[in-house]
Amino acid sequence: MSAMIDETHDATRRSWVASAQGSDFPIQNLPLGVFSPTGGPPRGGVAIGDQILDLAQAAASGLLSGEALAAAQAASGATLNPLLALGAAPRRALRRRLFELLSDGAQDQARVAAWLHPAADCTLHLPCAIGDYTDFYAGIHHALNVGRQFRPDNPLLPNYKHVPIGYHGRASSVRVSGAPVRRPNGQQKAPDVEAPVFGPARRLDLELELGVWIGPGNVLGEPVPIGEAEAHIAGLCLLNDWSARDLQAWEYQPLGPFLAKNFMTTVSPWIITAEALAPFRTAQAKRPEGDPTPLPYLMDEADQATGAYALQLGVLIRTPAMRQAGIAAHRLGQGPATNLYWTMAQLVTHHTVGGCDLRPGDLLGSGTISTPDDSGLGSLLELTRGGKEPITLPNGETRTFLEDGDELILAGRAVAEGFVSIGFGPCTGVVAPAPQA
Ligand code: MN
């Protein structure tokens, strides 16, 4: 069972790595990623405070054994796909052993200290070689907010509450936090002109989403039952599904998103594991009176009881002028991840119900997560009412959509009474000018 509470969630435990306390990465988090220290090849690592623990060194140390050793060995290469393929038990064994080694008063502290690299001296990479990336549309308030702009009387299409909506995205252009986001060129056609023009997208937007990292896959033709979907979720990350709204409006019918979405997707570097998230599981929001009950293949009592996550998600922006003036990033909004109409398990099960095989290291996007009110909108399309109402920043600048040089930051934090809060680390990107058309 991945959603198990054990000693690694004990709020009274601290790490001898002093920077761990109060950071996104306290000893209760221990997220998995891939990094390279200066001059070294990429290998698996675990974030602890402002340090990264080298899993290749840990595997070679003689201080790990059994399943924990097998997990560290599987994480010693340039991608975590082999580790994710192993499933929850070895991952959990590694977590428990590292927790022991990093705890205040641990024996072997001096030996373990030699496995630590200052994160500031390291380069972070994508944690997995992503075979496939699928983006869902499970944020119901985003679907409503955007739907209202086009169909004020009938914002949700009739399928929305019956079937998890999604499309197959592009894995090749997923990048880790910090990579520049090149504004795409493409076709645009304003409603009042006759023919499309080609040039830089002018309505460049963000989408605040959660990413799901797939652990063990399934065999082609063998769907994952809803009661077993949990075991296929290795962990979560933040995901920015950058979107060119003008390209999207012209191209999307009848087959859906294409070039408006495929130029780039940014993920936060660390896999916040299912084990780390166990204390932050919460009930799936009750469906409003009159909504259909999901079909039986999507319905599981345990999943409804604990299938959502108590996370606070935020969007921040920092323009070049703000950077120059030393003004901190401005928070555009914040809201809970419980604003999803489907659980992650339902997304996994639906993805495979026709027989499609998921593979270790595949990536799912949740869909844009927005609040029902204006406090936590996950896209500029919503914040500016389709570009009609510019937002004003602290220095007086205004924005409808993103401009060149703007930095966009997604943030996520898990909070639950009685447990140490854990963070996701940043998911950032600075907009770079479009290539010469
Ligand atoms: Mn999206």
Q: How far is ligand 1, taken at its centre, from the CA of residue 98, in Å? A: 35
Residue 360 is classified by DSSP as: T
298 contacts 332 by C-beta, under 8 angstroms: no
pLDDT tens-digit series, residues 306-316 = 999 999 999 99
Read off the pLDDT band of 216 (50, 70, 90): very high
Task: For residues 68 and 41, give the distance between their C-alpha atoms in angstroms, rounded to a whole number.
Answer: 22
pLDDT tens-digit series, residues 219-251 = 999 999 999 999 999 999 999 999 999 999 999
Q: Which of 51, 46, 53 is nearest to 18 (CA)?
A: 51
Task: For residues 348 and 233, give the distance between their C-alpha atoms in angstroms, rounded to a whole number.
Answer: 8
Tokens found for residue 155? 């914002």
281 strand-pairing partners? 309
Mean pLDDT for the stretch of residues 134-153 = 94
Tokens found for residue 198? 């080609």
Task: For residues 126 and 12, give the distance between their C-alpha atoms in angstroms, rounded to a whole number.
Answer: 32
pLDDT of residue 2 exceeding 60 = no
Q: How far is ligand 1, taken at its centre, from the CA of residue 216, in Å? A: 24
- Output phi, psi for 274, to 5 deg: -55, -35
Q: How far is ligand 1, taken at its centre, from the CA of residue 270, in Å? A: 20
Contacts of 3 (CB under 8 A, 6+ apart): 230, 274, 277, 278, 281, 306
pLDDT of residue 3: 66
- Output phi, psi for 379, to 5 deg: -155, 155
45 contacts 52 by C-beta, under 8 angstroms: yes
What single-letter amino acid sits at 173? S
Instruction: Mark whether 142 is an active-site residue.
Output: yes
pLDDT of residue 150: 83
pLDDT tens-digit series, residues 158-193 = 999 999 999 999 999 999 999 999 999 999 999 899
Maximum CA extent, the chain:
73
How do the residues of the chain divide into helix, strand and coil, expressed in percent and rounded to 5? 25, 25, 50
* Cα–Cα–Cα angle for 414, 419, 421, rounded to 5 degrees: 35
In the chain, the percentage of residues whose pLDDT exceeds 90 is 96
pLDDT of residue 398: 98
Residue 408 C-beta-side C-alpha neighbours within 13 Å = 30
Task: For residues 130 and 46, give the distance between their C-alpha atoms in angstroms, rounded to a whole number.
Answer: 20
pLDDT of residue 1: 41
What single-letter amino acid sits at 281? R
Q: What is the DSSP annotation of 229-252?
A: GGGGEEEEEEEE--EEHHHHHHH-
Q: How far is ligand 1, taken at its centre, from the CA of residue 24, in Å? A: 25
Mean pLDDT for the stretch of residues 13-17 = 98
The number of beta carbons lying within 10 Å of the beta carbon of residue 330 is: 19
Task: For residues 378 and 317, give the distance between their C-alpha atoms in angstroms, rounded to a whole number.
Answer: 12
Residue 104 is classified by DSSP as: T
Identify the active-site residue in 9, 117, 141, 142. 142
In 266-379, alpha helices (H): 301-306, 320-324, 344-352
pLDDT of residue 317 exceeding 80 = yes
> 132-141 burial by CB neighbour count: b if 16+ within 10 A, else e?
bbbbbbbbbb
Mean pLDDT for the stretch of residues 271-297 = 97
Task: For residues 97 and 65, give the distance between their C-alpha atoms in angstroms, rounded to a whole number.
Answer: 9
Q: How far is ligand 1, taken at its centre, from the CA of residue 307, in Å? A: 21
Q: Which of 388, 369, 386, 401 is nearest to 142 (CA)?
A: 369
pLDDT of residue 151 exceeding 90 = no
More confident residue, 365 or 149: 365
- Where do we find the tokens 């299938």? 307
pLDDT tens-digit series, residues 130-140 = 999 999 999 99
Q: How far is ligand 1, taken at its centre, from the CA of residue 364, in Å? A: 10
- Total residues belonging to the chain: 437
Q: How far is ligand 1, taken at its centre, from the CA of residue 15, in Å? A: 37
Mean pLDDT for the stretch of residues 381-392 = 98
314 contacts 331 by C-beta, under 8 angstroms: yes
Mean pLDDT for the stretch of residues 112-126 = 98
pTM to 2 decimal places: 0.98
More confident residue, 405 or 2: 405
Query: 83 by DSSP, 3-state: which?
Result: helix
Q: How far is ligand 1, taken at its centre, from the CA of residue 241, in Å? A: 5
Q: How far is ligand 1, taken at its centre, from the CA of residue 119, in Å? A: 30
pLDDT of residue 437 exceeding 90 = no
pLDDT of residue 59 exceeding 70 = yes
Torsion sign (Cα): 12, 64, 77, 39: positive
Tokens found for residue 26? 């306290």
In the chain, the percentage of residues whose pLDDT exceeds 70 is 99
